Amino acid sequence: MMKGDLLISSMIERAERFFPKKEVVSRTMNGIQRFSYKQIGQRTRKLASRLDEFGISREDKIGTLAWNHHRHLELYFAVPSIGAVVHTINIRLAPEHIVYIINHAEDELIFVDEDVFPLIEATHQNLRTVKAFIVMTDNELPETAVPNVYSYEEWIASGDPDYQFPKDIDEEAPAGMCFTSATTGNPKGVLYTHRSTVLHSMSLAMADTVGASETDVSMPVVPMFHVNAWGMPYVGTWLGSTIVMPGPRFTPKLLAELIEQERVTMTAGVPTIWLGLLKELEENNYDVSSLRAVVCGGSAAPLGMIKTFEKKYNVPFLHAYGMTETSPLATVSRLKSYQRDLPEDELYEERAKQGILVPGLDMKVVGASGEVAWDEEEMGELLLSGPWIADDYYKDDRGEEAFIDGWLHTGDVCTVDEEGVIKIVDRTKDLIKSGGEWISSVDLENAIMAHESVFEASVVSIPDPEWQERPIACVVVHDGKTMTKEELFDFLRPQFAKWWLPDDVLFMEEIPKTSVGKFLKRALRDEVQKHYQV
């Protein structure tokens, strides 16, 4: 058989050849623009030729600080297609983190959105390796004292629309780089390869996972600086799907409008996004009947939310689990054919789990005494391996603890039911140890969020002299609703053993979140512990 190196350039080439008329719908600061794949292809080739001319070599890192839009998509393809590495940087990180990350990656160039440019103005003097900044805008360049600043459109204007991508790239060469979300500590860098990106795209296109298809109008809400927007821009382009890019600073209203106007069939994001959308749907009328799948991951999807979307709005939900380290698709929650007749409640219980390992990967769940039983009770850490799983962090000692004997130790604790479906109980770092037993903060959160007055909830521990740790519930009540502690306890009591019940409930305006919208338990724990002065 031919080796047939799996290269990212072949994905954009397929879109250009077979789907030149299909479109990328891109929202920028200046409104919605449409580009055919023919145009995207030409612009990508122009960009690639300019990078080449600029002297970018194999494995050089190219940074991006950008929202989801067509120019970011062009970078996704142009950079790896010439053998360099597209390094997507989380624009919401603290400036000192961003400086650290850019220096650590040794980025040669930074492509930056106009509204993010002030960040460059504030930090550029600390960026040790960056040779130029290319501002992605439809407007005039901002006046600035920063040297070597170019406009993207002007920069690529002289590029070659017929530039030929080199084909002598090894499939295991690095192609992309993302940092983890910094939920548990400093972000860690992960390098993707051409091989891992193409295989991950194939896995997203499988009917039993996400089933990405040419027929999709696919809207990645998850940021392109967060695990490559879960790979959706890659697979969507490859298959010739229509891609809708929601652009900068979108609101739930804007997402609902895009779904209605563009007839979006598939979209992906974290639960906080969907909670926001749900609120919008409850307040205003939209036609969301085009949706065939709302992919939800990044943190546990609350069962109540899944149910409301499906039963009230007839919008099919797809709960998935993954990490920056896993490209990210690792598990997808889909019922097996013989589970379809489960009673509705069990059916939703099952579907709210993180799901079954996707084809192509391997897993182990390891507890104190080896691999756990598939009994939905025994807990253990999830270990993963396979061709789209990282084998190290980028120049970072922490890799030694996470990658051992060919297995990624996810730091996520789960149970497995007899169907092989995993349920994430907690992160190792968030599990609450009370009287020698574990309490799952995720289970408590899910139960609390199922209460109709609750908008969102998070459970963290405080140290306890007698029990070691005890759970505290932090609750945000829906606008216009009220709730007392007793009401909540009455609601929870029938569902949990007594010792699982939180010691207290703190009503809050907002739960602190990470840059990608996950509950930031580090910060919440600090807040709560300060409150109780423990």
The set of catalytic residues is 180, 325, 433, 438
HSE of 322 in the Cβ direction (CA atoms, 13 Å)?
33
Q: Tell me if residue 190 falls in helix, strand or coil.
A: strand
Report if residue 385 touches a second copy, rule: CB under 8 A: yes
Which residue stretch of 298-306, 339-347, 373-381, 526-534 sits at the interface with ligand ATP (rule: CB under 6 A)?
Answer: 298-306
Token digits for 201? 């795209």
Interface pick for ligand ATP out of 28, 81, 151, 180 (rule CB under 6 A): 180
Interface pick for Mg ion out of 68, 180, 458, 514 (rule CB under 5 A): 180
Report the residue number, 237 or 354, with the smaller CB distance to ligand ATP: 354
Report if residue 161 touches a second copy, rule: CB under 8 A: no
Q: How many residues bind ligand ATP (CB under 6 A)?
A: 24
Report if residue 231 touches ligand ATP, rule: CB under 6 A: no
Q: What is the DSSP letter of 311?
A: I
191 DSSP β-pair partners: 177
Q: Tell me if residue 455 falls in helix, strand or coil.
A: strand
Report the residue number, 81 or 183, with the smaller CB distance to ligand ATP: 183
Calculate the CA dihedral of residues 257, 262, 266, 267 and round it to 10 degrees.
-40
Phi and psi angles of residue 411, each rounded to the nearest 5 degrees, phi first? 75, 5
Q: Tell me if residue 355 falls in helix, strand or coil.
A: strand
Report the residue number, 65 or 177, with the smaller CB distance to a second copy: 177
Report if residue 249 touches a second copy, rule: CB under 8 A: no
Taking the CA atoms of 500, 504, 510 and 514 in sequence, report the sign of the dihedral they define: negative
Which residue stretch of 117-125, 135-143, 291-299, 495-503 sits at the interface with ligand ATP (rule: CB under 6 A)?
Answer: 291-299
Output the smallest distance, CB 475 to a second copy, in A: 37
Token digits for 229? 């927007």
- The one of ligand ATP, a second copy, Mg ion, none whose footprint includes residue 467, by CB under 5 to 8 A per kind, is none
Output the smallest distance, CB 273 to a second copy, in A: 24
Contact between 460 and 452 under an 8 Å Cβ cutoff? The reply is no
Phi and psi angles of residue 236, each rounded to the nearest 5 degrees, phi first? -60, -45
Contact between 210 and 334 under an 8 Å Cβ cutoff? The reply is no
Output the smallest distance, CB 182 to ligand ATP, in A: 4
| Packed helices 271-283 and 252-262: angle between N→C axes, nearest 10 degrees | 80
Which residue stretch of 35-43, 237-245, 424-432, 507-515 sits at the interface with a second copy (rule: CB under 8 A)?
Answer: 237-245
Return the residue matching tokens 């690792």: 330
Chain centroid offset of residue 186 CA: 17
Report the residue number, 137 or 180, with the smaller CB distance to Mg ion: 180
Chain centroid offset of residue 314 CA: 24
Report if residue 326 touches Mg ion, rule: CB under 5 A: no
Footprint of a second copy (CB under 8 A): 1-6, 10, 14, 17-19, 21-22, 172, 191-193, 195-196, 198-199, 202-203, 205-208, 211-215, 238-240, 327, 336-338, 356-357, 359-360, 362, 385-391, 406, 419-420
Footprint of ligand ATP (CB under 6 A): 180-185, 187-188, 297-300, 319, 321-324, 354, 410-412, 424, 427, 518
